[in-house]
Amino acid sequence: MTDTEHPSRVGKAVVPAAGLGTRFLPATKATPKEMLPIVDKPAIQYVVEEAVDAGLDDVLMVTGRSKRSIEDHFDRAYELEEALRAKSDTQRLYSVRESSELAQVHYVRQGEPRGLGHAVLCASAHVGDEPFAVLLGDDLIGRNEALLRRMIQVRETYGGSVVALMEVEPDHVSLYGCAAIEPTDEDDVVTVTDLVEKPAVDQAPSRWAVIGRYICDPAVFDVLRETPPGRGGEIQLTDALLQLAQRKPADGGPVHGVLFRGQRYDTGNKIDYLRTVVEFACERQDLAAEFLPWLRDFVDRHPAAGDDA
């Protein structure tokens, strides 16, 4: 197939950011979990940077209550900028302005938290009749990975929708949407034949987990309007994509998967969040020289629980 067979370009990214963030209470009582810092940048900024790196500079945030700080973060902060300019602190001035100049950021409110599928449906008026990307903020993808760009390419070649798949340990499949897959002629591309949201380990169709990056055909909106609440009583994007996986191209199908073996950081729970912060700090030129020796020493002084010191 050639690009011209599926001409409509992916130009918009949708970032659901309406979750209650209960795993991080009380930090998330008045602050959205997307604004929790990974070192010194809120998690959601890495996500917007990834979208922009893949050529998507129209970003729609689907927000809920107490999300004002997200809007403020991607807006200008004139007083702060003025104060930094007066001190000739150009480096910090740049870091403050950077987030407001990254992308065209738009917002829509998800009135009630009815699940990821419902959050995506809230984007329908803004997205219109075009394929679009969905990026979940709990997953951060390494800056040197070209995952999203590859997914857009796969959409251009095959049409339909595309999910990112990563192989996980069997006891982790119940945390993810899980896919049954069949190979294509391309090593890193598969056809998705089944999708189950958070299956029990003995019911999982494979160990290939859907990580938080999607390219959706606009047909997903009509399917989501008809999708009943599924796992957890929520409208699941996974359930809508299963419908599309069973359709012909003329009806918005099929669904392909890009097999991803690169670097992904989970920030969705406390332990993985802590790992992510430490990993990012160790990769930072301005911090690693001081932080890494301290970390080594700290670990030496704190043998793991159960270890004989």
**Nearest one of 272, 260, 183 to 214, comparing CA atoms:** 260
Residue nearest to ligand G1P (CB): 177
Q: Shortest distance, CB of residue 283 to ligand G1P, whole angstroms? A: 22
Query: Between 24 and 176, whose beta carbon lies closer to ligand G1P?
Result: 176
Query: 53 vs 36, 46, 84, 102, 212, CA distance in Å?
Result: 22, 10, 28, 10, 17
Q: Please, what is the minimum distance in Å from the beta carbon of residue 41 to ligand G1P? A: 20
Q: What is the amino acid identity at position 289?
A: A
Residue indicated by tokens 């007083």: 79
How many residues of this chain interact with ligand G1P, rule: CB under 6 A? Answer: 14
Q: Least distance to ligand G1P from the beta carbon of 284, Å?
A: 25
Please say which residue, 84 or 196, places its beta carbon nearer to ligand G1P. Answer: 196
Please list every residue from 194 through 223 that binds ligand G1P, using CB under 6 A.
197, 209-212
**Pick 84 or 165: Cβ nearer ligand G1P:** 165
Site for ligand G1P in 236-255 (CB under 6 A): 236, 238
Do residues 67 and 32 lie in contact, with contact meaning Cβ atoms separated by under 8 Å?
Answer: yes
Count how many Cα atoms sit within 13 Å of the Cα of residue 241 in the half-sphere of its side chain. Answer: 31
Of residues 158 and 176, the one with the C-beta less far from ligand G1P: 176
**What is the identity of the amino acid at 308?**
D
Nearer to ligand G1P, 61 or 211 (CB): 211
Task: Assess 230 for contact with ligand G1P (CB under 6 A).
Answer: no
Q: Which is nearer to ligand G1P, 74 or 214 (CB)?
A: 214
CB of 175 to ligand G1P, least distance (A): 7
Q: Closest approach of Cβ 211 to ligand G1P, in Å?
A: 5
Instruction: Compute the distance between CA of residue 181 and CA of residue 232 in angstroms, rounded to an integer.
Output: 25
CB of 270 to ligand G1P, least distance (A): 14
Measured distance CA(121)–CA(6) in Å, rounded: 23
Which amino acid appears at position 168 of this protein? V
Is residue 18 within 8 A of residue 113, CB to CB? The reply is yes
Binding to ligand G1P (CB under 6 A) within 45-74 occurs at none
The 8-class DSSP code of residue 227 comes to P
Given a contact cutoff of 8 angstroms between Cβ atoms, the answer to whether 198 and 174 are in contact is yes
Local structure of 202: helix, strand or coil: helix
124-163: which residues touch ligand G1P (CB under 6 A)? 136, 138-139
**Six token digits for residue 45:** 């900024």
Residues near ligand G1P (CB under 6 A): 116, 136, 138-139, 176-177, 197, 209-212, 236, 238, 268
